Structure formats: C-alpha cells, structure tokens
Amino acid sequence: MTTLHPFDQALRLEAAGADRPGTWLGHSSPDYWNMVGPFGGTTAATALRAILLHPALLGEPVALTVNYAAALAEGPFSVTAKPVRTNRSTQHWTVALSQDDANGDAGVVMTATAVTAVRRETWSVNDTPMPAVALADASERLHFAAVAWTNRYDMRPVRGMVPQVWDGSGVDSLTQLWVRDDPPRPLDFPALAAMADVFYPRVWLRRATRVPAGTVSITTYFHADSRQLAECGEGFLLGQAKANAFRNGFFDQSAQLWSEAGVLLVTSTQIVYYKE
C-alpha cells in the first residue's frame, strides 16, 4: 500500500456526490497546523486542488486569490469550485470553503477566485533575476518547535530570519531562504501555491517586535507551466519576501520563488493585518 505524502494527505478531497457537482469533502491536517488553524498555504492549495479536480478544467493555473474569512477549525470541511466563464483559452473560477460550526450550521471560512489558461509558447524572459546567494547546502536547516506546519518544509536561511531578540531594533523586512517539501516531493501547482506563503509576517522582522498578525488575502501568480515545474523535481526553490508599507493595522507582503536553475516560477502579494 502506497503511503501518501503528508501534503497530499492534507489536500485529499473526495467528491461530495452527484447531487453536489463541483463540491468536494476534506479534513484538516495536524501535520500542517498553525497557531489558530491550518497553515494558510495549505488552505490556498486546497482551493486550487478543487479547481484542478474539476472535470470542466481548461488549462493550467495562472492566478489565484484567496480570502481568509475565518480560521478553519479542526475537522471536516467542504469546498466548492465553479467555472463561472470559459473563453477560448482562459477560464474564470470561484471557490468557497465551508465548515459547520458548533451548532451544525455551515459557514464560509474561505473564498477564492482563480484564472486558468491554455499556455502557448511565446517570447519569454525573466525580468526579475534570481538573487546571487549561496547554495542551499551552505546553510543549515531551520528547526521550529512552536507550530507543526514548519516541520513539513526544509527551510535554509540566507538572510532575514526570525529575530532572536525582540527589542524593536529591526531595520528592513527582506527575507531570503531556500525551501522544499519535507519529505521531498515533486513540485506541482498546489505545492507552489503553498510555498508562496511560507514566509513569516514581515512586521516581525521590520520591528523586531512580535505582534499578532495574520493574512487577510493573498494573490499568487503562476509564471511556470507544468513542464517547468516537472524540471524542478524535488529540488529547492529560492524564496524572497519583503513589505512595502506598514500602516494603520495592515501591511503588504510580496514574495518570489525561483527554481535552482534561476527560473522565476511564482510571485505573490498578500495583505496582512497586525496589532500593536
């Protein structure tokens, strides 16, 4: 019997039935638990998985926006993906993830929109080159004990790791690191969507002050096709993240992920709330 990778187990979905087309049933995973719910990257990946399982799917992911309406609780949930418009080469989607509350009433905890498309060979270039950094083997792996999901990634820091002293002495918000699934797993679109969210809140680094913070919405743009993802195999990706502004309880967080060969695979931007 083949054992599923923890990531595939976390994203395991079963069809809800013929009377609920486009709806799948899943269950939260303790392997990817965060402080008050699942790691947001796996929630985004679940939305994308529902789209990729849909029999009406056209093409491959180009863009995914996920809005976190509430924390997903431990237990079962349902996710519904609907193609709202299909053109010659693009397809537009809406997704909703729902979960019953203590009274048995279903409530939406995540909404998403996405675009998939049939990609064609055209003129292409990386206009944002991969930073020149030491290889992953030159850095030691980070180990976290506080939350489970961080143990599902092999993260090797280059710069900008979590402050060791919370003394308000931060000077910038830039982080660079190498990352891959643990155990290693061939890269695909759901894994890439999850890795776009592996960076801790930029406000912690900029302020060197640990304050409550959480993602409200994240948009991820996929620049690679499935062939380019397959070329990555189980290798590391180089990730970079920084913020542009912190103001009135919200900040943005932009990220890029490159393959070891220097191909820009994905970019993302999220808006994050924070408290004093």
Determine contact, residues 180/5, Cβ cutoff 8 Å.
Answer: no
Least confident range from 92-106, 108-122, 155-169, 245-259: namely: 92-106
> 264 and 186 in one domain?
yes
> 144 and 263 in one domain?
yes
> 80 and 157 in one domain?
no
> 76 and 140 in one domain?
no
The answer, yes or no, to whether residue 191 has pLDDT greater than 90, is: yes
> Omega into 131 within 30° of 0, i.e. cis?
no
Q: Is the pTM of this model over 0.85?
A: yes
Determine contact, residues 61/51, Cβ cutoff 8 Å.
Answer: yes
Question: Biggest alpha carbon distance in the chain?
Answer: 57
Asked if residue 203 is part of any domain, the answer here is: yes
Instruction: At 244, list the tokens.
Output: 């542009």
The answer, yes or no, to whether residue 47 has pLDDT greater than 90, is: yes
The answer, yes or no, to whether residue 74 has pLDDT greater than 90, is: yes
- Of 90, 117, 144, which residue is a domain's last? 117
3-state secondary structure of 28: coil
Span 126-145, pLDDT tens digits: 999 999 999 999 988 988 77
Q: What is the pLDDT of residue 103?
A: 66
Least confident range from 145-154, 226-235, 242-251, 261-270: namely: 145-154
pLDDT above 90: percentage of residues in the chain: 89
Q: What is the pLDDT of residue 1?
A: 60
The answer, yes or no, to whether residue 226 has pLDDT greater than 70, is: yes
CA distances from 233 to 155, 194, 229, 250 (A): 17, 16, 7, 36
Which residues, 6+ apart, have CB-to-CB distance to 14 below 8 Å? Answer: 24, 25, 26
Dihedral angle sign, alpha carbons of residues 9, 10, 14, 15 = negative
Asked if residue 167 is part of any domain, the answer here is: yes
> 234 and 145 in one domain?
yes
pLDDT-derived band of residue 170, with 50, 70 and 90 as boundaries? Answer: very high
Asked if residue 123 is part of any domain, the answer here is: no
pLDDT-derived band of residue 102, with 50, 70 and 90 as boundaries? Answer: low
> 263 and 177 in one domain?
yes
Q: Do you know the residue count of the chain? A: 276
User: Which residues pair with residue 241 across a beta bridge?
Assistant: 175, 255
Q: What is the pLDDT of residue 142?
A: 87
Q: What is the total count of domains within the chain?
A: 2
Q: What does the mean pLDDT of the chain come to?
A: 95
3-state secondary structure of 99: strand
Q: What is the pLDDT of residue 77?
A: 97
> Which residue's entry shows tokens 């053109």?
87
Q: What is the DSSP string of 159-199?
A: E----SS-SS------EEEEEEESS-----HHHHHHHTT-S
Asked if residue 128 is part of any domain, the answer here is: no
Determine contact, residues 186/230, Cβ cutoff 8 Å.
Answer: yes
d(Cα 73, Cα 205) in Å, to the nearest integer? 28
Q: Specify the amino acid at residue 131.
A: P
3-state secondary structure of 241: strand
d(Cα 195, Cα 180) in Å, to the nearest integer? 8
Q: What is the pLDDT of residue 6?
A: 97
Q: What is the pLDDT of residue 104?
A: 67
The answer, yes or no, to whether residue 91 has pLDDT greater than 80, is: yes
> 263 and 140 in one domain?
yes
> 98 and 225 in one domain?
no
The average pLDDT across 71-98 equals 97
Q: What is the DSSP string of 3-26?
A: PPPHHHHHT--EE--TTSTTEEEE
pLDDT-derived band of residue 7, with 50, 70 and 90 as boundaries? Answer: very high
Which residues span the domain enclosing 74? 6-117
Q: Any idea what the CATH number is for the domain that residue 102 is in?
A: 2.40.160.210
